Amino acid sequence: MSYLTYTILLALFHQQIASKAVPATAENNRTSVSNTFVSDYFMYFAYGSNLLKERLQLKNPSAVFVTTGSLKDHVIQFGYWKKEFNNTNSWHGGVATIEESKGDVVWGVVWKMDKDNLISLDKQEGVGIGFYSPLDVTINTDEGEVLCRTYQMNNFTLHQTSPPYKQVVCLGAKQNGLPLDYIKKLEAVETNGYSGPSILDDITALKPADKGKSL
């Protein structure tokens, strides 16, 4: 049995015995946040900037890649949580969220994370200020379904993303081997043309050539 198979099966086993919550079905991939936690770790589904390992591990060093997977009947969107958004957020443009959309699929990465990093992950996602809300989603992987914690933006309003944010998302998608057609969709996303400093500058693990790469 491979390590990947073992990790997923172990998570599924503990999820079944650690919670009495009703599992998500094919008709509803989302449940309240209660049963993604297994012993001293949890499974997290990333679909935006946290696709990139170096980005996620800036504040959450325990994150370990488990597998790639997909969320059915959802689509990735870029925007912000306030109608008065003025491009002054840390990414200088819209950021990713998921929205229900029949027949669409959002691809991403399943990360295994220590509970100790839950506070830092919630803080990164702006849970305390109402930016995102955590929720459980059923992710389809090659080894079966995995219940994961993810985040969805509150009061979502469409806004073009910035080149630095798009770059991090696309680099993460390539880094983890997401489907080529999905990567092409990400690369086709239009941006607002912002060219100043951003969080991308803090991701020191990126090579200089990658930082300046055009997407």
Write down the pLDDT at residue 87. Answer: 53
The b-or-e profile of 51-89 (16+ CB within 10 A means b, else e) is: bbbbbbbbebebbeebbbbbbbbbbbbbbbbeeeeeeeb
Whether pLDDT at 185 is above 70: yes
Catalytic machinery residues: 125
State mean pLDDT over 140-147.
95
pLDDT of residue 89: 75
The CATH label, of 1.10.620.20, 3.40.50.300, 3.10.490.10, 1.20.90.10, for the domain at 3-211 is 3.10.490.10
The DSSP output letter for 143 is T
d(CA 89, CA 105): 27
Ordered by start, the domain boundaries in the chain are: 3-211
pLDDT number for residue 11: 54
Q: What pTM was computed for the model? A: 0.81
Checking if the pLDDT of 24 tops 50, the result is no
Tell me if 6 is assigned to a ligand binding site. Answer: no
46 is in an annotated binding site: yes
What is the separation, in whole angstroms, between the first and last Cα of the chain? 39
Token pair for 79: 């925007």
Q: Decide which of 208 and 105 is more confident.
A: 105
Question: Which residues lie closer than 8 Å to 180 by C-beta, 6 or more apart?
Answer: none
Cα(8)–Cα(26) distance, rounded to whole angstroms?
19
**45 labelled ligand-binding:** yes
Mean per-residue pLDDT for 198-211?
67
